[in-house]
Amino acid sequence: MTENLGVLGEKSARRSGVERVVNAPLPTVYGQFQAIGYLDHDRGEEQVALVYGEIGTDNVLTRLHSECLTGDAFGSRHCECGDQLASALRAVAAEGSGVVVYLRGHEGRGIGLLAKLRAMALQAEGLDTVEANLALGLPVDARDYGVAADILHDLGVRSVRLMSNNPRKREALVRHGVQVAEQVPLLIEPCESNITYLRTKRERLDHVLPHLDAVAHGS
């Protein structure tokens, strides 16, 4: 009986939601940030928000950046993720305040690193990014932005100027109680390696990418 009570006690003590764990200064090439680390008890993920300056509560310049090892760390030209991350960090530093929430567990729009690499291999054979995920029996986009909203709530942010071309990010934040005062375009000049990928994001995933109109379709 005592053992059963112990198990019940352990279950009842199990946490949920996000917990702020640490706040550390992070000097970067873009400026001096505070790296605020969180533990997402529901998914077991470790998350981080990079905060620049005094952010306040309203109209905070914000980027929700989905983890992309190949783009963020390796400089992949298959996507524009690394350039978007750098642009967002530069933008909040230039603004004097802002937040970049780096969302781990979002690799490959939520399917994971190895599955993303398999999808990239299929794209090299001619499938687009949507077709590749579906061919693997995986969702086109499995990302959940609830943890990002929880982090913003913890930081005291009520409304954001969201740096994103993805309307679904805006919809997700509003659904989770964070108002979006403005959606700020984060447009990266395409290259030969990612133009097809970017066009697919615009045509099949509803990303707002008007700058692609200036690129000849055959390039």
Which sequence positions are flagged as catalytic?
A: 141, 143
Helices 146-154, 167-175: crossing angle, 10 deg rounding: 60
Tokens of 3: 């053992």
**What are the b/e assignments for 190-200, b being 16+ CB within 10 Å?**
beeebbebbbb
Of 83, 65, 63, which Cα lies nearest the Cα of 74? 83
Q: Hey, how many other C-beta atoms are within 10 angstroms of the C-beta on 76?
A: 17
User: Is-contact 164 207, C-beta < 8 A?
Assistant: no
Tokens of 27: 């000097």
**Rounded-to-integer distance, Cα 46 and Cα 19, Å:** 10
Strand pairing report for 98-103 and 60-66 = parallel
Tokens of 190: 């395409």
Between the CA atoms of 48, 52, 57 and 59, what dihedral angle is there, to the nearest 10 degrees?
A: -100
